[in-house]
């Protein structure tokens, strides 16, 4: 009996190992993502390009102003969007650097926003709005940071507000950027096959 259970277990394990490979072999190769992904990410093309302006951070010691830049572009045939933000001090040194990737989860019917900044990484709620986008980050028990951006006519304004239950909303960062032009980043930097 034990030997037949061992053989049955081995056969089941072999089937489980082969099934994903067989299923993957039947899936279409889509280096440019799916049409649904390209359509959803294409709705955010207004973000593409190179941007520059200011970021004013309000802290306990007063306001700090950085020169803020953003560069945004598509990858994987337009099925994802890559975003890099940098904040520079007056002497040109980098004070802040963040990276994010936006994608579309068709099964869940929502955007997926993954960000890396200040030693933290996470996946955060993101939604397209009529004139821009909004996203949020948890900031402790019953608290979050809401970022709301308006992007139109070559201007990108984004405000980050600390929101905590039972407390007044507190804006702590405001970014105002002007679109400089198109960018071939990041797709333009691909390594050639020869």
Arithmetic mean of pLDDT, 66-79: 96
* Residue range(s) defining the domain that contains residue 76: 35-182
Residue 62 domain-assigned?
A: yes
Residue 190 domain-assigned?
A: no
Token pair of 181 as six digits: 């032009």
Q: How many domains does the chain have?
A: 1
Residue 12 domain-assigned?
A: no
Residue 10 domain-assigned?
A: no
Using the 8-state DSSP alphabet, how is residue 141 labeled? T
pTM over 0.85: no
Residue 161 domain-assigned?
A: yes
> pLDDT tens-digit profile of 92-126?
999 999 999 999 999 999 999 999 999 999 999 99
pLDDT on residue 14? 47
pLDDT on residue 187? 83
CATH of the domain at 56: 2.40.128.20
Token pair of 188 as six digits: 């333009």
Residue 192 domain-assigned?
A: no
Distance CA 134, CA 58 (A): 20
> pLDDT tens-digit profile of 142-191?
999 999 999 999 999 999 999 999 999 999 999 999 999 999 889 887 77
Q: How confident is the model at residue 26 (pLDDT cuts 50, 70, 90)?
A: low
Residue 15 domain-assigned?
A: no
Q: How many residues does the chain have?
A: 194
pLDDT on residue 31? 78
Residue 95 domain-assigned?
A: yes
């Amino acid at each position: 009996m034990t030997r037949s259970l061992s053989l049955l277990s081995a056969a089941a394990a072999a089937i489980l190992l082969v099934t994903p490979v067989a299923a993957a072999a039947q899936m279409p190769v889509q280096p440019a993502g799916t049409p649904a992904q390209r359509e959803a990410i294409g709705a955010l093309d207004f973000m593409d390009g190179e941007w520059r302006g200011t970021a004013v951070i309000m802290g306990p010691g007063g306001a700090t102003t950085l020169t803020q830049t953003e560069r945004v572009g598509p990858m994987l045939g337009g099925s994802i969007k890559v975003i890099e933000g940098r904040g520079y001090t007056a002497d040109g040194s980098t004070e802040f650097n963040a990276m994010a990737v936006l994608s579309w989860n068709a099964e869940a019917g929502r955007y997926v926003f993954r960000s890396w900044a200040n030693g933290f990484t996470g996946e955060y709620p993101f939604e397209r709005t009529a004139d821009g986008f909004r996203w949020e980050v948890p900031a402790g028990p019953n608290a979050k940071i809401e970022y709301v951006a308006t992007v139109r006519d070559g201007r990108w304004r984004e405000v980050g507000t600390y929101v905590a239950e039972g407390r007044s909303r507190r804006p702590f960062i405001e970014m105002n950027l002007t679109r400089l032009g198109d960018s071939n980043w990041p797709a333009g930097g691909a390594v050639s096959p020869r």
